[in-house]
């Protein structure tokens, strides 16, 4: 999944870029509000981490400009931790709010929650943070996958690939879709990155179990589906 970080403190922005990349996200960074707004409008981001105090255009102004066009989930960062500020941020369309300094693990957990629930703030407390198919379960907050209660040891990319397939279970996803959503690359038929990743995922996900869930549709792509009862 692609994230946009809009943060003018260069050191913090770089720390976030490195850390979030390590969590398997694809990260773009903007260091001022105008650049951030431009990227947010043009790009296809799963979520935006938005600093409140920014040069050029502040976080609140960026958010309201964005909200007139797009519902991309936004997690706002602020040094101001007052209740009024928090309420103001949420009312202006932020999906969540984090006060600096924050723990990186909390940022990651909250990003997983807001990207799972989209930008519908009403579902904040009821939205499940797990995805299921047959005996497969993904815990999106803890980023753990299990089948039949047994943990699957996945890399960050494999987890993201499985999350996408599971969210869109029953739907055939093309290599181009997977390349763009999981690797942030334009699909080039000369590369076998996708095939290799699918093969590795299948080795962990399906080979040790009786019922395969990941299926190849020749010439079309891949689909995650329980076909045991079909
Ligand atoms: Ca700032």
How many angstroms separate the alpha carbon of residue 60 from the centre of ligand 1?
Answer: 12
How many angstroms separate the alpha carbon of residue 78 from the centre of ligand 1?
Answer: 8
Residue 199: predicted pLDDT: 96
Report the percentage of the chain scoring pLDDT > 70: 87
- Whether residue 197 contacts residue 181, with contact meaning beta carbons closer than 8 Å, is answered with no
Residue 124: predicted pLDDT: 39
How many angstroms separate the alpha carbon of residue 133 from the centre of ligand 1?
Answer: 42
Question: What count of other Cβ atoms lies within 10 Å of the Cβ of residue 227?
Answer: 11
- Mean pLDDT throughout 83-105? 75
Output the average pLDDT for the chain: 86
- Mean pLDDT throughout 48-62? 92
pTM over 0.85: no
- Mean pLDDT throughout 38-46? 94
Higher pLDDT, 110 or 189: 110
Residue 157: predicted pLDDT: 87
Mean pLDDT lowest for which of 71-80, 134-143, 178-187, 199-208? 178-187
Higher pLDDT, 148 or 124: 148
How many angstroms separate the alpha carbon of residue 24 from the centre of ligand 1?
Answer: 25
Top-ranked range on mean pLDDT: pick from 38-42, 56-60, 110-114: 38-42
- 137-194 pLDDT, tens per residue? 998 878 899 999 999 999 988 998 999 899 889 999 998 888 877 876 777 767 788 9
How many angstroms separate the alpha carbon of residue 198 from the centre of ligand 1?
Answer: 40
How many angstroms separate the alpha carbon of residue 124 from the centre of ligand 1?
Answer: 26
Question: What is the b/e burial string over 41-74, where b = at least 16 CB atoms within 10 angstroms of the residue's CB?
Answer: eeeebbbbbbbbbbeebebbebbeebeeeeebbb
How many angstroms separate the alpha carbon of residue 9 from the centre of ligand 1?
Answer: 6
Q: For the chain, give the number of residues.
A: 230
Residue 122: predicted pLDDT: 41
How many angstroms separate the alpha carbon of residue 48 from the centre of ligand 1?
Answer: 15
Closest CA to 102 of 10, 2, 12, 8: 12
Distance of alpha carbon 152 from alpha carbon 130, whole angstroms: 15
Residue 198: predicted pLDDT: 96
- Mean pLDDT throughout 194-223? 95
- 5-24 pLDDT, tens per residue? 999 999 999 999 999 998 88
Residue 85: predicted pLDDT: 63
């Amino acid at each position: 999944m692609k994230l946009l970080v809009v943060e003018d403190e260069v050191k913090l922005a770089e720390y976030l870029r490195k850390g979030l990349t390590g969590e398997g996200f694809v990260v773009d960074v903007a260091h001022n509000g105008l650049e951030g707004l431009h990227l947010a409008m043009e790009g296809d981001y799963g979520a935006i981490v938005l600093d409140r105090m920014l040069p050029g255009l502040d976080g609140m102004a960026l958010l309201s400009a964005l909200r007139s066009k797009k519902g991309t989930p936004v997690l706002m960062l602020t040094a101001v931790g007052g209740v009024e500020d928090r309420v103001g941020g949420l009312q202006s369309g932020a999906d969540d709010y984090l006060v600096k300094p924050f723990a990186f693990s909390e940022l990651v957990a909250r990003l997983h929650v807001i990207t799972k629930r989209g930008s519908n703030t009403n579902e904040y407390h009821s939205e499940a943070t797990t995805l299921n198919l047959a005996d497969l379960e993904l815990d999106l907050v803890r980023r753990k996958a299990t089948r039949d209660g047994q943990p699957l040891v996945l890399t960050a990319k494999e987890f993201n690939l499985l999350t996408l397939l599971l969210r869109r279970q029953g739907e055939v996803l093309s290599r181009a879709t997977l390349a763009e959503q999981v690797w942030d690359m334009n699909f080039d038929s000369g590369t076998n990155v996708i095939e290799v990743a699918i093969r590795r995922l299948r080795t962990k996900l399906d080979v040790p179990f009786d019922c395969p869930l990941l299926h190849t549709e020749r010439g079309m792509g891949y689909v995650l589906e329980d076909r045991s009862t079909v």
